[in-house]
Amino acid sequence: MAKIVPIAPGTLGPTQITVGMIEVADKKKELTALKAPDQVSFLQAHVIPAVLGPNKRHFLTDHHHLGRAALECGIAVVFCEVQDDLSSLAIGPFWDKMEENAWVHPLDEHGTRHVYSKLPDHLEQLVDDVYRSLSGYVRNAGGYDKTFEAFSEFIWADFFRRNVAVELVTTDFARAVQAAIPLARSLRAKRLPGFKGS
């Protein structure tokens, strides 16, 4: 059984470069609407998966949006489910193992891959990818199904990056979502995880 541990969000190591800041803002609203005891209950019900890495540091493997939102809200502790202990590995083999398990996604807001040393060191250094927010909103609107495939929202973000003009996404996000839903259900997206068709 995986171990659940309380961790200060500012100490968590990211395993991706970007988040969708619109989604982070939504999670901040959700957290700030709760009283302190209810925040704790919410965070206990939404554990963040992590891996114990070099120097016994916890590295997130998912839920970077929640971690960033908790940090911005000044929340002292989140709850992590430790999926594996890789703390005995040196940094190079650690990232190799993370890659092998699909627990790292070193692609920037343009979809360009980077070396692991370019990953942010702290959650507050994650950069915005408007297409990651778009992919989340399209999924929530029923454009595609949530799946357990690693980083599926980023796969969809890259699809929308190629098919929805950035000017629309940055100036009229709601209209961009409406434009992206039929794209997600079109045959152009049939090989993407969670595709549900028209």
Q: Structural domain boundaries of the chain?
A: 3-128, 130-189
Residue 198 pLDDT > 80, yes or no?
Answer: no
- What the block records as the tokens of 12 is 């968590």
pLDDT of 195 higher than 60: yes
Confidence at residue 150, expressed as pLDDT on a 0 to 100 scale: 85
Class of domain 3-128: alpha beta
Structural fold of domain 130-189: Helicase, Ruva Protein; domain 3 (1.10.8)
Q: Can you tell me the distance from the alpha carbon of 101 to that of 155, in angstroms, rounded to the nearest whole number?
A: 17
Over the chain, what HEC string results?
A: CCEEEEECHHHCECCECEECHHHHHHHHHHHHCCCHHHHHHHHHHCCEEEEECHHHCEEECCCHHHHHHHHHCCCCCEEEEEEEECCCCCHHHHHHHHHHCCCCECECCCCCECCHHHCCCCHHHCEECHHHHHHHHHHHCCCCCCCCCCCHHHHHHHHHHHHCCHHHHHHCHHHHHHHHHHHHCCHHHCCCCCCCCC
Mean of pLDDT over the chain: 96
Q: Evaluate if residue 107 carries a pLDDT over 90.
A: yes
Q: What is the pLDDT of residues 57-94, one digit of tens each?
A: 999 999 999 999 999 999 999 999 999 999 999 999 99
Report the percentage of the chain scoring pLDDT > 70. 99
Dump pLDDT digits (tens) for 118-174: 999 999 999 999 999 999 999 999 999 999 888 999 999 999 999 999 999 999 999
Query: Residue 1: what pLDDT?
Result: 46
- Give residue 180's pLDDT band: very low, low, confident or very high (50, 70, 90): very high
